[in-house]
Structure 1
Amino acid sequence: MKKLFTTLSNIWKIQELKERILFTLMILVIYRFVCQVVLPGVDPAQLVNTEKSGILGLLDMFAGGAFSKVSILALGVMPYISASIVVQLLGIAVPSFQKMQKEGESGRKKLTQITRYLTVAITAVQAIGYVKTQVPEAAILIDHTMFYVLSGFVLTAGTLFVMWLGEKITDKGIGNGTSIIIMVGIIARLPIALKQEIESRFTGNSGGLIMLVLEIVALFAVVMFTILIVQGVRKVPVQYAKRIVGNKQVGGVRQYIPLKVNAAGVMPIIFAQALMFIPNALIGVFPKLQDSWLHQYSDITSVTYSLTFAFLIIAFTFFYTAITVNPTQMSDDMKKNGGFIPGIKPGLATSTFIDDVISKITFPGSLFLAIIAILPSLAVKFGIQQEFAQFFGGTSLLILVGVVLDTLQQIESYLLMRHYDGLMKTGRVTGRTGIPAAGGSTAAL
């Protein structure tokens, strides 16, 4: 406990770090305040039963409840994340985007600009769908046509405002702005979920305090397990040959390549959830399908839903890892810099070895990711309220753990630069890959 207070006092002694933390907190307060502002022309009194479930509930959690409140920030940063993912995938498949990725800072600026324009287009389309499907007609106080047009502009401006806030946090605050905004939105739902769970446990014969304590212990264990998966790496040793550059000798040291057990991050879960939403969408368009086999995918706690969801996550983990991790390029870069893996020939043999290692660690990583993803449905099966069960796994938990680790890593780097002790007595906080950033791999879903 004494070391904790010492570390906190050291953080406060570093002027730049203190200013960045206070700036981040100020931006987050502004964001949470604006989230409460309802769209113009909407009667808030008519929005009493707008709680969302399923994929919409997940979007509402990411937006900190703004989605169900019909706020001007209802769409949050999700259109920006979608645009970032599209640009990232184009960087893998389209040569012109690959060229921009290799142009350094100028290429990054071009990709960022493209992402912003794409965000506007995606938000405009999603805004129309949102106001037509999620806003009750009884809540609209003005002419409907005027409301739809006005809401489209306001929701688009709201998403751009949130995107701007995220960029400001990244530039002048601490951590990745987009990731932190999503994390705050998720955490904002925790008090409500915890309150509902406590009320349910003390109502009737639901186990009372003992069951509540067991749930908290189980949640703590799940968080520890998730941290293990997020931080897990397979270290491949690399030896660099000695070289003479000018009058100095460089190289001759042994380093390692940290291959992540979960290199795909939260992307497989996001892709799988998008596909799992299709059956519900088909039932909504064609009501006759309600009695077909597609109805099994309406219940997230069903065995069919969980098994299909897990299978898709495993498949997408292999797919996303294959397109983002390039063993051939890693081998070529190593060869150019005079590096080699001990006992492995440079070139094709090195590429094959790295690919084999990635394949071996990706399967357990994808399996653990699938387990984390279906834990919320298992929690509901054990009687936990669905709102609180969302914190037992899935995208929300992975984002929370990843963003916290990433932010702590930045804080620790400031402490170590000023010759203070880190956040822990032993070891160092290792960051993770988070929400996709334009023009590169993921940087906080």
Structure 2
Amino acid sequence: MERFVNAIRNMVNVPDLRKRIVFTLALIAIYRLGAHITAPGINKEQLERVWHDVGTSLLGVLDLFSGGNFRTISIFALGVTPYITASIILQLMTVVSPQLKKLQEEGEAGRQKINQYTRYLTVGLCALQTAFVARWLQANGVGDPGWGFLLSTVLTLTTGTIFVMWLGEQITDRGIGNGISLLIFVGIVVGLPRGVAQVLERVRSGDTLATVGVIVMVVALIALIAFIVFVESARRKIPISYAKRHIGRQVLGGQETYMPIKINMGGVIPVIFASSVLAMPQTIIQFIRYDPNDPTSWSSRIHSFFQQFHGGDPYYELIFISLIVFFTFFYITIIFNVEDVADNLRKHGGFIPGIRPGKSTAEYLNTIVTRLTAVGALYLAFVAFVPQLMLSGFKVGRLPFVGQTLDAFFSTTPGLSWIPTGMGYQFYFGGTSLLILVGVAMDTAAQVEAQLIMRNYEGFMGPGRRPMRGRRP
């Protein structure tokens, strides 16, 4: 604890670091201020009624990454979601586009050009998404019919998203941490007090089983957070040696280092992909008109099917886990090209001891990455499933053959009755939220640690480098 307090004191004592932290907090405050400014023409009461029916669809995922702004349709309703989508699309396009691949290999200049393309694509995606949002609001009676509301909503929400993107870039350049990630982090943290209030309300009810359930949930969350920190910090260190090169009278190279490869290189992206794909049918259903008094119509049947297809349903969970595994392997093959890594090592005179440069190195790296990705995919599936099990339960009654028997057993067994129904809390403690919170917190703390050590101060993890004393004449 004393080391942590000293690190906080050192953060305040370093002028440049202090300015960066204050600048970051100021822009975060501006972002949160915009969350309370509602877009024009919104019927708040009708919006609240509509939200009860769509909270588990793709719109609920959008609300998570917008920090609750989408729930109120504020000027920052879409948050950084269009920017994240545009970044992922450009990253995927580098595989199929030789021009983008060439830009990616040009270093800083190419990266800036790709960032510029990302901004342009963000504007286009945002205009398209806000048009759909405006039509959805009109269809549900939240907004006024007509072109006036449609145009004003598109203009307001698009401008708000571009401003949020600018805030994130300013935090990255002049503040501390990754700006876009921090804005998502803040949006999730803001919703945590509401979830904590629900937990406390359960405890105050005086129900012994509810209190025990809360204790179990808190212990499970702490253990899950510790598990996430452990895995996110894990690295597979591959030894790398550089051959000696004689340039004139100088001898370059000859050093030994290692290449750290994370177990979870994909981060939270595979979970986001899987959640979005599964939420799309539920979102589309919201736009389909159906007659609840005619259960035999095709629209009513489709609506009835997807009403049961949500978190906790065995078939939903099976598809969800399968999609996480698929997207984990798919995304890793894009962001980590073993052939490019092997080729770069060979060009710079590096090699893995005992492995021949070139094709053999690529095959060796591919074997290691495949094994790590398999572990990372199972880790993401586990982290995403466990909180969902606690929140939404597992509808064992939907299982074939033994479903009804298991449902009767869990429902009548004290201490296990929550399994088919869940604990009934909100989405704030979901696996996606935990992955984002822990990952962003670790990255930001690592950047602060690096800033402190670079300036010869003691960081969070221990004493940094001491300044070298010059010789006295």
Asked if TM exceeds 0.5, the reply is: yes
Structure 2 Cα separation of the partners of residues 136 and 27 of structure 1:
35
Structure 1 Cα separation of the partners of residues 19 and 464 of structure 2:
27
The answer (yes or no) to whether the contact 1:310–1:370 under 8 Å persists in 2 is: yes
Correspondent of 2:434 among 388, 397, 403:
397
Closer, same or farther: CA 266–129 of 1 in aligned 2, 3 Å: same
Q: 1:221: Cα distance to partner?
A: 0.8
Question: Which residue of structure 1 lines up, in the alignment, with residue 201 of structure 2?
Answer: 199
* Secondary structure of 1:42 counterpart: coil
Correspondent of 1:377 among 365, 378, 388:
388
Closer, same or farther: CA 309–246 of 1 in aligned 2, 3 Å: same
Question: Which residue of structure 2 lines up, in the alignment, with residue 257 of structure 1?
Answer: 259
Q: Does 1:407 align with 2:409?
A: no
Q: Does 1:8 align with 2:20?
A: no
Once the two structures are superposed, residues 207-246 of structure 1 have per-residue CA deviations (whole angstroms, 9 ceiling, x without a partner) of: 3544323322211111111122222221111111122344
Closer, same or farther: CA 113–164 of 1 in aligned 2, 3 Å: same
* Secondary structure of 2:83 counterpart: helix
Closer, same or farther: CA 199–144 of 1 in aligned 2, 3 Å: farther
What amino acid is aligned across from residue 225 of structure 1 in structure 2?
F
Question: Which residue of structure 2 lines up, in the alignment, with residue 348 of structure 1?
Answer: 359
Structure 2 Cα separation of the partners of residues 190 and 5 of structure 1:
25
* Secondary structure of 1:255 counterpart: strand
Correspondent of 1:91 among 79, 82, 94:
94
Closer, same or farther: CA 386–134 of 1 in aligned 2, 3 Å: farther
Q: Does 1:187 align with 2:189?
A: yes
Structure 2 Cα separation of the partners of residues 426 and 328 of structure 1:
39
Closer, same or farther: CA 19–136 of 1 in aligned 2, 3 Å: farther
The answer (yes or no) to whether the contact 1:131–1:148 under 8 Å persists in 2 is: yes
Question: Which residue of structure 1 lines up, in the alignment, with residue 311 of structure 2?
Answer: 300
Correspondent of 1:419 among 441, 452, 456:
456
* Secondary structure of 1:75 counterpart: coil
* Secondary structure of 1:67 counterpart: helix
* Secondary structure of 1:256 counterpart: strand
Question: Which residue of structure 2 lines up, in the alignment, with residue 442 of structure 1?
Answer: none
Question: Which residue of structure 2 lines up, in the alignment, with residue 387 of structure 1?
Answer: 426
Closer, same or farther: CA 45–300 of 1 in aligned 2, 3 Å: closer
Once the two structures are superposed, residues 171-201 of structure 1 have per-residue CA deviations (whole angstroms, 9 ceiling, x without a partner) of: 1110111110011001111001111222134
Question: Which residue of structure 2 lines up, in the alignment, with residue 359 of structure 1?
Answer: 370
| CA RMSD, 1 decimal | 2.3
Question: Which residue of structure 2 lines up, in the alignment, with residue 34 of structure 1?
Answer: 34
Structure 1 Cα separation of the partners of residues 389 and 114 of structure 2:
41
Correspondent of 2:216 among 214, 217, 235:
214
Correspondent of 1:121 among 119, 124, 127:
124
Q: Does 1:170 align with 2:169?
A: no
The answer (yes or no) to whether the contact 1:415–1:422 under 8 Å persists in 2 is: yes
Structure 2 Cα separation of the partners of residues 241 and 297 of structure 1:
61
Q: 1:325: Cα distance to partner?
A: 1.2
The answer (yes or no) to whether the contact 1:40–1:151 under 8 Å persists in 2 is: yes
Question: Which residue of structure 2 lines up, in the alignment, with residue 440 of structure 1?
Answer: none
TM-score normalised to structure 2 length: 0.84
After TM superposition, the structure 1 stretch with the greater mean CA deviation from structure 2, 176-185 or 205-214, is: 205-214
Structure 2 Cα separation of the partners of residues 396 and 135 of structure 1:
30
The answer (yes or no) to whether the contact 1:268–1:316 under 8 Å persists in 2 is: yes
The answer (yes or no) to whether the contact 1:289–1:295 under 8 Å persists in 2 is: no
What amino acid is aligned across from residue 273 of structure 2 in structure 1?
F
What amino acid is aligned across from residue 39 of structure 1 in structure 2?
A
The answer (yes or no) to whether the contact 1:80–1:119 under 8 Å persists in 2 is: yes
Closer, same or farther: CA 296–72 of 1 in aligned 2, 3 Å: closer
The answer (yes or no) to whether the contact 1:296–1:302 under 8 Å persists in 2 is: no
Closer, same or farther: CA 226–286 of 1 in aligned 2, 3 Å: farther
What amino acid is aligned across from residue 384 of structure 1 in structure 2?
M
Q: What is the aligned residue count? A: 425
After TM superposition, the structure 1 stretch with the greater mean CA deviation from structure 2, 26-35 or 289-298, is: 289-298
Structure 2 Cα separation of the partners of residues 2 and 278 of structure 1:
49
Q: Does 1:330 align with 2:367?
A: no
Once the two structures are superposed, residues 50-73 of structure 1 have per-residue CA deviations (whole angstroms, 9 ceiling, x without a partner) of: 352233222112111110101111
Question: Which residue of structure 1 lines up, in the alignment, with residue 134 of structure 2?
Answer: 131
Closer, same or farther: CA 233–67 of 1 in aligned 2, 3 Å: same
Correspondent of 1:224 among 223, 226, 248:
226
Question: Which residue of structure 1 lines up, in the alignment, with residue 399 of structure 2?
Answer: none
What amino acid is aligned across from residue 382 of structure 2 in structure 1?
I
* Secondary structure of 2:70 counterpart: coil
Question: Which residue of structure 2 lines up, in the alignment, with residue 107 of structure 1?
Answer: 110
Structure 2 Cα separation of the partners of residues 245 and 37 of structure 1:
64
What amino acid is aligned across from residue 417 of structure 1 in structure 2?
M
What amino acid is aligned across from residue 379 of structure 1 in structure 2?
M
Structure 1 alignment gaps of length 5 or more? 429-445
Once the two structures are superposed, residues 123-178 of structure 1 have per-residue CA deviations (whole angstroms, 9 ceiling, x without a partner) of: 111111112224676544x6632111111101100000101111111111101111
Structure 2 Cα separation of the partners of residues 257 and 315 of structure 1:
25
Closer, same or farther: CA 124–396 of 1 in aligned 2, 3 Å: same
Q: 1:4: Cα distance to partner?
A: 1.7
Largest Rg, 1 or 2: 2
Q: Does 1:80 align with 2:83?
A: yes
Closer, same or farther: CA 391–268 of 1 in aligned 2, 3 Å: same
* Secondary structure of 1:181 counterpart: helix
Q: 1:298: Cα distance to partner?
A: 2.3
Once the two structures are superposed, residues 255-285 of structure 1 have per-residue CA deviations (whole angstroms, 9 ceiling, x without a partner) of: 1111221112222112212221243245443
Q: 1:427: Cα distance to partner?
A: 11
The answer (yes or no) to whether the contact 2:240–2:350 under 8 Å persists in 1 is: yes
Structure 2 Cα separation of the partners of residues 74 and 281 of structure 1:
17
